[in-house]
Amino acid sequence: MIYSIEKIAKILEGKVIGNGSIKINMLSKIEDGSNGSLCFLANNKYEEFLYTTQASAVIVSSNFNIDYSRTSTNLIIVDDAYQGFATILKIFSKSKNNIEGINKHSCIEECAIIGKKCFVGSNAYIGKNVVIGDNVKIYPNCYIGENTLIGDNTILYAGVKIYDHTKIGKNCIIQSGAIIGGDGFGFAQNEENEYTKVVQIGNVIVEDNVEIGANTTIDRATMGSTIIHQGVKLDNLIQIAHNVEIGKHTVIAAQSGIAGSTKIGENCMIGGQVGIIGHLKIGDNVKIAAQSGIQSDINDNEIVQGSPAFSITDYKRSYVYFKQLPSLNSLVNKIEKEVINMLRK
Protein backbone atom coordinates (compact mmCIF):
# COMPACT_ATOMS: atom_id res chain seq x y z
CA MET A 1 0.00 0.00 0.00
CA ILE A 2 1.44 3.36 -1.02
CA TYR A 3 0.50 6.79 0.36
CA SER A 4 2.07 10.21 -0.03
CA ILE A 5 3.24 11.98 3.12
CA GLU A 6 0.69 14.70 2.36
CA LYS A 7 -2.18 12.17 2.24
CA ILE A 8 -1.08 10.61 5.53
CA ALA A 9 -0.98 14.06 7.14
CA LYS A 10 -4.50 14.74 5.86
CA ILE A 11 -5.77 11.47 7.37
CA LEU A 12 -4.21 12.42 10.71
CA GLU A 13 -5.26 16.07 10.48
CA GLY A 14 -1.59 16.97 10.84
CA LYS A 15 0.88 19.38 9.24
CA VAL A 16 3.74 18.47 6.91
CA ILE A 17 7.17 19.98 7.38
CA GLY A 18 9.18 19.03 4.31
CA ASN A 19 8.25 17.40 1.01
CA GLY A 20 4.69 16.11 1.17
CA SER A 21 4.79 14.44 -2.25
CA ILE A 22 7.23 11.69 -1.20
CA LYS A 23 5.65 8.22 -1.19
CA ILE A 24 5.44 5.90 1.82
CA ASN A 25 5.21 2.14 1.23
CA MET A 26 6.06 0.66 4.64
CA LEU A 27 6.15 1.33 8.36
CA SER A 28 9.16 0.94 10.64
CA LYS A 29 10.69 1.72 14.03
CA ILE A 30 12.47 5.06 14.08
CA GLU A 31 15.87 3.43 14.67
CA ASP A 32 15.35 1.13 11.67
CA GLY A 33 13.93 3.71 9.27
CA SER A 34 14.81 3.50 5.59
CA ASN A 35 13.85 5.14 2.32
CA GLY A 36 10.10 4.86 1.80
CA SER A 37 9.30 4.10 5.43
CA LEU A 38 7.21 5.98 7.97
CA CYS A 39 7.89 5.91 11.73
CA PHE A 40 6.91 7.90 14.81
CA LEU A 41 8.47 9.58 17.84
CA ALA A 42 6.45 9.70 21.06
CA ASN A 43 9.12 9.08 23.70
CA ASN A 44 11.99 11.44 24.59
CA LYS A 45 14.20 8.37 25.04
CA TYR A 46 14.36 7.98 21.26
CA GLU A 47 14.83 11.66 20.36
CA GLU A 48 18.35 11.21 18.98
CA PHE A 49 17.03 8.83 16.31
CA LEU A 50 14.95 11.70 14.92
CA TYR A 51 18.17 13.32 13.76
CA THR A 52 19.79 10.17 12.34
CA THR A 53 16.90 8.12 10.95
CA GLN A 54 16.86 7.27 7.26
CA ALA A 55 13.04 7.12 7.24
CA SER A 56 11.23 9.21 4.64
CA ALA A 57 8.93 10.67 7.29
CA VAL A 58 8.40 10.73 11.05
CA ILE A 59 5.15 11.42 12.90
CA VAL A 60 5.89 13.74 15.84
CA SER A 61 3.66 15.19 18.55
CA SER A 62 3.10 18.95 18.36
CA ASN A 63 4.36 19.48 21.95
CA PHE A 64 7.71 17.85 21.19
CA ASN A 65 10.68 20.25 21.29
CA ILE A 66 12.32 19.63 17.91
CA ASP A 67 15.73 20.96 16.89
CA TYR A 68 14.83 21.61 13.26
CA SER A 69 18.43 22.50 12.40
CA ARG A 70 19.39 18.85 12.93
CA THR A 71 16.51 17.14 11.11
CA SER A 72 17.03 15.77 7.61
CA THR A 73 13.78 13.84 7.26
CA ASN A 74 10.21 14.99 6.59
CA LEU A 75 7.92 15.49 9.57
CA ILE A 76 4.20 15.08 10.15
CA ILE A 77 3.18 17.14 13.17
CA VAL A 78 0.08 15.86 15.02
CA ASP A 79 -1.51 16.24 18.44
CA ASP A 80 -0.53 12.72 19.55
CA ALA A 81 2.15 10.83 17.63
CA TYR A 82 1.40 7.46 19.21
CA GLN A 83 -2.31 7.65 18.39
CA GLY A 84 -1.49 8.92 14.92
CA PHE A 85 0.82 6.02 14.18
CA ALA A 86 -1.79 3.60 15.56
CA THR A 87 -4.27 4.99 13.05
CA ILE A 88 -1.84 4.45 10.16
CA LEU A 89 -1.03 0.93 11.38
CA LYS A 90 -4.72 0.13 11.28
CA ILE A 91 -5.03 1.41 7.72
CA PHE A 92 -2.02 -0.59 6.53
CA SER A 93 -3.32 -3.69 8.32
CA LYS A 94 -6.70 -3.38 6.61
CA SER A 95 -4.99 -3.34 3.23
CA LYS A 96 -3.33 -6.68 4.04
CA ASN A 97 -6.71 -8.16 4.95
CA ASN A 98 -8.41 -6.87 1.82
CA ILE A 99 -8.98 -10.36 0.45
CA GLU A 100 -12.11 -12.22 -0.62
CA GLY A 101 -13.15 -15.65 -1.81
CA ILE A 102 -13.69 -19.16 -0.51
CA ASN A 103 -10.82 -21.61 -0.88
CA LYS A 104 -11.77 -24.86 -2.60
CA HIS A 105 -10.12 -26.84 0.21
CA SER A 106 -12.39 -25.36 2.89
CA CYS A 107 -15.46 -27.23 4.16
CA ILE A 108 -18.70 -25.30 4.58
CA GLU A 109 -21.92 -27.04 5.55
CA GLU A 110 -24.79 -26.36 3.14
CA CYS A 111 -26.99 -24.72 5.78
CA ALA A 112 -24.32 -22.19 6.78
CA ILE A 113 -24.82 -18.58 5.64
CA ILE A 114 -21.80 -16.57 4.49
CA GLY A 115 -22.04 -12.80 4.01
CA LYS A 116 -20.67 -10.59 1.24
CA LYS A 117 -16.95 -10.00 0.58
CA CYS A 118 -15.85 -12.74 2.98
CA PHE A 119 -12.67 -14.80 2.87
CA VAL A 120 -12.46 -18.45 3.93
CA GLY A 121 -9.00 -20.02 3.81
CA SER A 122 -7.76 -23.53 3.12
CA ASN A 123 -8.86 -26.33 5.51
CA ALA A 124 -11.26 -24.07 7.40
CA TYR A 125 -14.45 -25.77 8.61
CA ILE A 126 -17.77 -23.95 9.03
CA GLY A 127 -20.51 -25.99 10.71
CA LYS A 128 -24.25 -26.28 10.41
CA ASN A 129 -26.45 -23.20 10.90
CA VAL A 130 -23.46 -20.88 11.22
CA VAL A 131 -24.23 -17.29 10.22
CA ILE A 132 -21.29 -15.13 9.15
CA GLY A 133 -21.64 -11.40 8.44
CA ASP A 134 -20.14 -9.31 5.66
CA ASN A 135 -16.40 -8.80 5.12
CA VAL A 136 -15.41 -11.49 7.64
CA LYS A 137 -11.93 -13.01 7.16
CA ILE A 138 -11.44 -16.63 8.22
CA TYR A 139 -7.86 -17.78 7.73
CA PRO A 140 -6.69 -21.38 7.13
CA ASN A 141 -7.31 -24.19 9.61
CA CYS A 142 -10.04 -22.40 11.55
CA TYR A 143 -12.92 -24.39 13.05
CA ILE A 144 -16.35 -22.83 13.57
CA GLY A 145 -18.88 -25.03 15.35
CA GLU A 146 -22.58 -25.22 14.56
CA ASN A 147 -25.07 -22.46 15.44
CA THR A 148 -22.29 -19.88 15.78
CA LEU A 149 -22.86 -16.23 14.83
CA ILE A 150 -20.01 -13.97 13.65
CA GLY A 151 -20.56 -10.24 13.02
CA ASP A 152 -19.37 -8.03 10.16
CA ASN A 153 -15.67 -7.20 9.66
CA THR A 154 -14.40 -9.73 12.20
CA ILE A 155 -11.06 -11.46 11.54
CA LEU A 156 -10.18 -14.99 12.64
CA TYR A 157 -6.51 -15.69 12.10
CA ALA A 158 -5.14 -19.15 11.34
CA GLY A 159 -6.00 -21.99 13.69
CA VAL A 160 -8.75 -20.29 15.70
CA LYS A 161 -11.27 -22.76 17.17
CA ILE A 162 -14.80 -21.63 17.98
CA TYR A 163 -17.13 -24.14 19.59
CA ASP A 164 -20.89 -24.50 19.05
CA HIS A 165 -23.42 -21.74 19.88
CA THR A 166 -20.79 -19.00 20.28
CA LYS A 167 -21.79 -15.42 19.44
CA ILE A 168 -19.08 -13.04 18.21
CA GLY A 169 -19.80 -9.39 17.44
CA LYS A 170 -18.65 -6.97 14.77
CA ASN A 171 -15.10 -5.69 14.21
CA CYS A 172 -13.46 -8.29 16.43
CA ILE A 173 -9.93 -9.65 15.96
CA ILE A 174 -9.12 -13.15 17.16
CA GLN A 175 -5.47 -14.12 16.93
CA SER A 176 -4.08 -17.53 15.97
CA GLY A 177 -4.61 -20.46 18.30
CA ALA A 178 -7.35 -18.89 20.40
CA ILE A 179 -10.05 -21.31 21.56
CA ILE A 180 -13.49 -19.93 22.37
CA GLY A 181 -16.23 -22.04 23.89
CA GLY A 182 -14.30 -25.04 25.20
CA ASP A 183 -15.49 -26.88 28.32
CA GLY A 184 -15.27 -25.06 31.61
CA PHE A 185 -13.26 -26.79 34.35
CA GLY A 186 -16.16 -28.28 36.27
CA PHE A 187 -15.96 -31.48 38.34
CA ALA A 188 -17.87 -32.78 41.37
CA GLN A 189 -15.88 -34.70 44.00
CA ASN A 190 -17.47 -37.68 45.76
CA GLU A 191 -16.64 -39.34 49.09
CA GLU A 192 -14.00 -41.55 47.43
CA ASN A 193 -12.21 -38.44 46.12
CA GLU A 194 -13.24 -39.32 42.57
CA TYR A 195 -14.33 -36.61 40.18
CA THR A 196 -17.47 -36.58 38.06
CA LYS A 197 -17.54 -34.20 35.11
CA VAL A 198 -20.12 -31.41 35.29
CA VAL A 199 -21.35 -31.01 31.72
CA GLN A 200 -21.04 -27.45 30.41
CA ILE A 201 -24.12 -26.56 28.33
CA GLY A 202 -23.80 -22.76 28.13
CA ASN A 203 -22.01 -20.64 25.54
CA VAL A 204 -19.67 -17.67 25.04
CA ILE A 205 -20.77 -14.20 23.94
CA VAL A 206 -18.12 -11.82 22.59
CA GLU A 207 -19.46 -8.35 21.87
CA ASP A 208 -18.28 -5.79 19.27
CA ASN A 209 -14.72 -4.44 18.94
CA VAL A 210 -13.09 -7.09 21.10
CA GLU A 211 -9.55 -8.37 20.47
CA ILE A 212 -8.49 -11.80 21.72
CA GLY A 213 -4.78 -12.69 21.73
CA ALA A 214 -3.00 -15.77 20.45
CA ASN A 215 -3.57 -19.01 22.41
CA THR A 216 -6.04 -17.35 24.76
CA THR A 217 -8.90 -19.60 25.91
CA ILE A 218 -12.42 -18.59 26.89
CA ASP A 219 -14.54 -21.39 28.35
CA ARG A 220 -18.25 -21.66 27.77
CA ALA A 221 -20.59 -21.30 30.73
CA THR A 222 -21.89 -24.22 32.74
CA MET A 223 -25.32 -22.67 32.12
CA GLY A 224 -26.01 -19.24 30.65
CA SER A 225 -23.10 -17.37 29.08
CA THR A 226 -19.49 -16.39 29.58
CA ILE A 227 -19.57 -12.75 28.41
CA ILE A 228 -16.80 -10.55 27.02
CA HIS A 229 -18.30 -7.10 26.66
CA GLN A 230 -17.69 -4.43 24.06
CA GLY A 231 -14.18 -3.10 23.54
CA VAL A 232 -12.36 -5.59 25.77
CA LYS A 233 -8.73 -6.32 24.83
CA LEU A 234 -7.21 -9.64 25.87
CA ASP A 235 -3.50 -10.34 25.45
CA ASN A 236 -1.97 -13.70 24.50
CA LEU A 237 -2.10 -16.77 26.76
CA ILE A 238 -4.99 -15.72 28.99
CA GLN A 239 -7.43 -18.17 30.59
CA ILE A 240 -11.04 -17.03 31.05
CA ALA A 241 -13.09 -19.66 32.91
CA HIS A 242 -16.78 -20.56 32.71
CA ASN A 243 -19.42 -17.92 33.53
CA VAL A 244 -16.86 -15.10 33.84
CA GLU A 245 -18.07 -11.67 32.76
CA ILE A 246 -15.65 -8.92 31.71
CA GLY A 247 -16.95 -5.35 31.49
CA LYS A 248 -16.58 -2.88 28.63
CA HIS A 249 -13.13 -1.61 27.62
CA THR A 250 -11.21 -3.65 30.19
CA VAL A 251 -7.69 -4.72 29.18
CA ILE A 252 -5.86 -7.80 30.48
CA ALA A 253 -2.17 -8.60 29.90
CA ALA A 254 -0.64 -11.99 29.09
CA GLN A 255 -0.64 -15.12 31.27
CA SER A 256 -3.43 -13.95 33.55
CA GLY A 257 -6.12 -16.37 34.69
CA ILE A 258 -9.67 -15.69 35.87
CA ALA A 259 -11.53 -18.46 37.66
CA GLY A 260 -15.18 -19.32 37.22
CA SER A 261 -18.11 -16.92 37.80
CA THR A 262 -15.97 -13.87 38.61
CA LYS A 263 -17.39 -10.56 37.37
CA ILE A 264 -14.95 -7.84 36.29
CA GLY A 265 -16.14 -4.27 35.82
CA GLU A 266 -15.64 -1.72 33.07
CA ASN A 267 -12.42 0.13 32.19
CA CYS A 268 -10.20 -2.08 34.33
CA MET A 269 -6.48 -2.63 33.71
CA ILE A 270 -5.09 -6.02 34.74
CA GLY A 271 -1.36 -6.70 34.48
CA GLY A 272 0.42 -9.84 33.35
CA GLN A 273 0.39 -13.08 35.36
CA VAL A 274 -2.48 -11.96 37.59
CA GLY A 275 -4.52 -14.74 39.18
CA ILE A 276 -8.14 -14.12 40.23
CA ILE A 277 -10.07 -16.77 42.14
CA GLY A 278 -13.68 -17.61 41.37
CA HIS A 279 -16.97 -15.94 42.37
CA LEU A 280 -15.47 -12.50 43.00
CA LYS A 281 -16.70 -9.06 42.00
CA ILE A 282 -14.12 -6.60 40.66
CA GLY A 283 -15.43 -3.04 40.39
CA ASP A 284 -15.12 -0.48 37.60
CA ASN A 285 -11.85 1.39 36.87
CA VAL A 286 -9.80 -1.05 38.97
CA LYS A 287 -6.06 -1.47 38.31
CA ILE A 288 -4.27 -4.68 39.30
CA ALA A 289 -0.46 -4.79 39.15
CA ALA A 290 1.35 -7.68 37.47
CA GLN A 291 1.74 -11.00 39.33
CA SER A 292 -0.90 -10.09 41.88
CA GLY A 293 -3.16 -12.70 43.46
CA ILE A 294 -6.78 -11.62 43.96
CA GLN A 295 -8.65 -13.48 46.70
CA SER A 296 -11.43 -11.05 47.62
CA ASP A 297 -13.75 -8.49 46.00
CA ILE A 298 -12.32 -5.14 44.90
CA ASN A 299 -14.29 -1.89 45.00
CA ASP A 300 -14.50 0.67 42.19
CA ASN A 301 -11.39 2.73 41.39
CA GLU A 302 -9.00 0.74 43.63
CA ILE A 303 -5.37 0.05 42.67
CA VAL A 304 -3.92 -3.13 44.18
CA GLN A 305 -0.71 -5.14 44.15
CA GLY A 306 0.73 -8.23 45.83
CA SER A 307 -0.28 -11.81 46.53
CA PRO A 308 -2.66 -11.66 48.25
CA ALA A 309 -3.25 -8.20 46.81
CA PHE A 310 -3.96 -5.05 48.83
CA SER A 311 -3.73 -1.29 48.31
CA ILE A 312 -0.75 -0.44 46.12
CA THR A 313 0.16 2.47 48.43
CA ASP A 314 0.35 0.14 51.43
CA TYR A 315 2.17 -2.44 49.33
CA LYS A 316 4.92 0.03 48.41
CA ARG A 317 5.31 1.10 52.03
CA SER A 318 5.50 -2.52 53.13
CA TYR A 319 8.06 -3.30 50.47
CA VAL A 320 10.40 -0.68 51.89
CA TYR A 321 10.47 -2.67 55.15
CA PHE A 322 10.61 -5.99 53.34
CA LYS A 323 13.84 -4.99 51.60
CA GLN A 324 15.34 -4.12 54.99
CA LEU A 325 14.58 -7.50 56.58
CA PRO A 326 18.12 -8.94 56.12
CA SER A 327 19.75 -5.97 57.84
CA LEU A 328 17.03 -5.89 60.53
CA ASN A 329 17.58 -9.58 61.15
CA SER A 330 21.31 -8.99 61.55
CA LEU A 331 20.61 -6.15 63.97
CA VAL A 332 18.23 -8.30 66.05
CA ASN A 333 20.80 -11.12 66.21
CA LYS A 334 23.47 -8.65 67.32
CA ILE A 335 21.24 -7.19 70.05
CA GLU A 336 20.27 -10.70 71.19
CA LYS A 337 23.91 -11.67 71.61
CA GLU A 338 24.64 -8.48 73.54
CA VAL A 339 21.70 -9.10 75.88
CA ILE A 340 22.79 -12.70 76.50
CA ASN A 341 26.32 -11.54 77.27
CA MET A 342 25.00 -8.92 79.69
CA LEU A 343 22.85 -11.49 81.50
CA ARG A 344 25.80 -13.84 81.85
CA LYS A 345 27.80 -11.12 83.58
Beta bridge pairs of residue 39: 58
| Element holding 317 (H helix, E strand) | helix 312-323
Beginning with the edge strand found earlier in the chain, give each strand of the sheet holding 125-126 in spatial order: 107-108, 125-126, 143-144, 161-162, 179-182, 217-219, 239-240, 257-258, 275-276, 293-294
Q: Is 322 left (phi over 0), alpha (psi -120 to 50) or beta?
A: alpha
Selection from 266, 269, 299, 263 nearest residue 281 by Cα = 263
Q: What count of other Cβ atoms lies within 10 Å of the Cβ of residue 330?
A: 10
> Alpha-carbon Rg of the chain, whole angstroms?
26
In the DSSP assignment, the letter for residue 284 is: T
Helices (H), 65-224: 81-96
Reported residue count of the chain is: 345
Whether 242 is catalytic: yes
Q: Which of 105, 229, 242, 249 is catalytic?
A: 242
> Which residues are known to be catalytic?
242
